[in-house]
Amino acid sequence: MARGVNKVILVGNLGRDAETRFTPAGVARTTFTVATSRRWKDPQTGEWRDETEWHNVVLWRQENLAQYLTKGRQVYVEGRLQTRAYDDRDGNRRYITEIVAENVVLLGGRGEVPEEEGAPATPRLAAEPAAEEPPIIETEITDDDIPF
């Protein structure tokens, strides 16, 4: 019998500051939201459309990382999908799907706070910037540009 694959990789921006709570056994549970966006061309109108998807993320046993997970930061999240059920205040059965993170890397971006002297360095996944960046040339991509 073959095993299944449950793997999620997200690169997006944090929608709010991370919140850490502890289970009765003292295990840290950090939660935050990540927004991912995609851009696509509407085939009927020919206009470009933007679409944002919000993801609930849970990070276990990493309470020291929550202070860096602040609203607006760009983040790389790797983990698995998990759906769980609970009963709301009215007794209705509710379901929630969330990403259980196994790896979180801060990428920088909006909301980045400069490091204070003597403070621990925040994790980063970025190379040293090039001496001179090439100019950005905006061109519209058409179906003729796709090689297949």
The SS3 of residue 63 is helix
Task: State the average pLDDT over residues 82-98.
Answer: 91
pLDDT grade for 92, boundaries at 50, 70 and 90? very high
| Whole-number Å distance between alpha carbons of 96 and 118 | 41
- Tens of pLDDT along 119-142? 444 444 333 333 444 444 444 555
pLDDT grade for 68, boundaries at 50, 70 and 90? confident
Enumerate residues 6+ apart whose C-beta is below 8 A from 115.
Answer: 121, 122
C-alpha pair distances (Å), 10 with each of 22, 29, 51, 62, 82: 25, 19, 15, 18, 15
CATH 2.40.50.140 for the 8-145 domain, yes or no: yes
**pLDDT averaged over every residue in the chain:** 77
**Total residue length of the chain:** 148
Residue 86 has pLDDT above 90, yes or no: no
Residue ranges covered by each domain of the chain:
8-145
Residue 17 has pLDDT above 50, yes or no: yes
Asked whether the beta carbons of 65 and 30 are under 8 A apart, the reply is yes
C-alpha pair distances (Å), 86 with each of 9, 89, 123: 26, 10, 35
In terms of DSSP H, where are the helices of 55-148? none
